[in-house]
């Protein structure tokens, strides 16, 4: 099991912004899955929108990998990020299979405004002048919100519908948790050496991810455009 350094900047940020962090990782959309009360139309909406997001997430993750190859002092950073990038091919295939199962025509999905905003944010993080510490913070935050969120749906007392267990296990599993803890260690190590300006940028990026995740969950649950 990958241990996480408890003295890192990430833990301080989570405590500092706990209300927002909890809003992103324990959103009513996720809790409705956990409690077995979800309207399946909400899940189908999430499925179509997240497929679009993941396709945009691939080049972003690749850009983080490129920055790691040029800026990281630890070769293991590349290995961790590459493992995440490699898994995205399987993830896209999974979305296509689930869409077919739930009768969600992916080619007809209209991108919601919240998704457009999130994808534009990913594009902004791919600018070459952005520091590695900032973009890897974003990568960690995006992955961790999903891991912590879907792990709630696998708790012993959860009433997650059987039809949604596979989705919850994809992101809520201990294996994905290990990956997220490895990313957190990378972020903490980067931030230990970061300038004050980088720390501010990284924290702002962390908060923006949380805000965008909440907007994405809201859209999935309510269908708001």
Q: What is the CA radius of gyration of the chain?
A: 17
Q: What's the confidence (pLDDT) of residue 223?
A: 61
Q: CA 140, 25, 45, 91: dihedral to nearest 10 degrees?
A: 30
Question: What torsion do the CA atoms of 16, 63, 51, 155 make, to the nearest 10 degrees?
Answer: -40
Which of the residues are catalytic? 213
DSSP-assigned states of every residue in the chain: -----TTSHHHHHHHHTHHHHHHHHS-HHHHHHHTT---HHHHHHHHHHHHHHHHHHHHHHHHHHHHHHHH-S-THHHHHHHHHHHHHHHHHHHHHHHHHHTT--GGGPPPPHHHHHHHHHHHHTT-TTS-HHHHHHHHHHHHHHHHHHHHHTTSTT----GGGHHHHHHHHSHHHHHHHHHHHHHHHHHHHS--HHHHHHHHHHHHHHHHHHHHHHHHHHH---
- Give the whole-angstrom CA distance, residue 182 versus residue 167: 22
pLDDT at 5: 45
The per-residue pLDDT for 195 is: 92
Q: What is the pLDDT along the chain (225 residues), one digit of tens a residue?
A: 544 443 589 999 999 999 999 999 999 999 999 999 999 999 999 999 999 999 999 999 999 999 999 988 888 999 999 999 999 999 999 999 999 999 999 999 999 999 999 999 999 999 999 999 999 999 999 999 999 999 999 999 999 999 999 999 999 999 999 999 999 999 999 999 999 999 999 999 999 999 999 999 999 988 644
Q: Exposed (0-12), middle (13-18) or buried (19+): which is 101, by Cβ within 10 Å?
A: exposed
Whole-model pTM: value is: 0.94
* Sign of the alpha-carbon torsion through 97, 94, 214, 202: negative
């Amino acid at each position: 099991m990958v241990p996480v350094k408890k003295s890192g900047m990430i833990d301080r940020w989570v405590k500092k912004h706990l209300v927002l962090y909890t809003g992103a990782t324990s959103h009513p959309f996720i809790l409705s899955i956990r409690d077995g009360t979800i309207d399946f139309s909400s899940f189908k909406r999430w499925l179509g929108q997240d497929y679009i997001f993941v396709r945009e997430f691939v080049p972003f993750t690749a850009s983080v990998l490129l920055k790691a190859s040029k800026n990281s002092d630890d070769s293991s950073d590349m290995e961790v990020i590459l493992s995440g990038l490699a898994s995205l091919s399987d993830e896209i295939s999974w979305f296509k299979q689930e869409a077919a199962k739930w009768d969600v025509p992916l080619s007809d999905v209209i991108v919601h405004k919240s998704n457009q905003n999130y994808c534009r944010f990913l594009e902004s993080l791919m600018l070459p002048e952005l520091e590695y510490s900032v973009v890897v913070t974003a990568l960690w935050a995006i992955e961790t919100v999903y891991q912590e969120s879907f792990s709630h749906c696998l708790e012993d007392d959860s009433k997650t519908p059987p039809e949604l267990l596979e989705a919850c296990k994809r992101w809520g599993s201990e294996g994905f948790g290990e990956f997220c803890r490895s990313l957190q260690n990378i972020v903490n190590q980067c931030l230990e050496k970061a300038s004050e300006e980088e720390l501010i940028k990284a924290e702002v990026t962390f908060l923006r991810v949380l805000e965008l995740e909440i907007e994405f969950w809201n859209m999935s649950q309510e269908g708001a455009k």
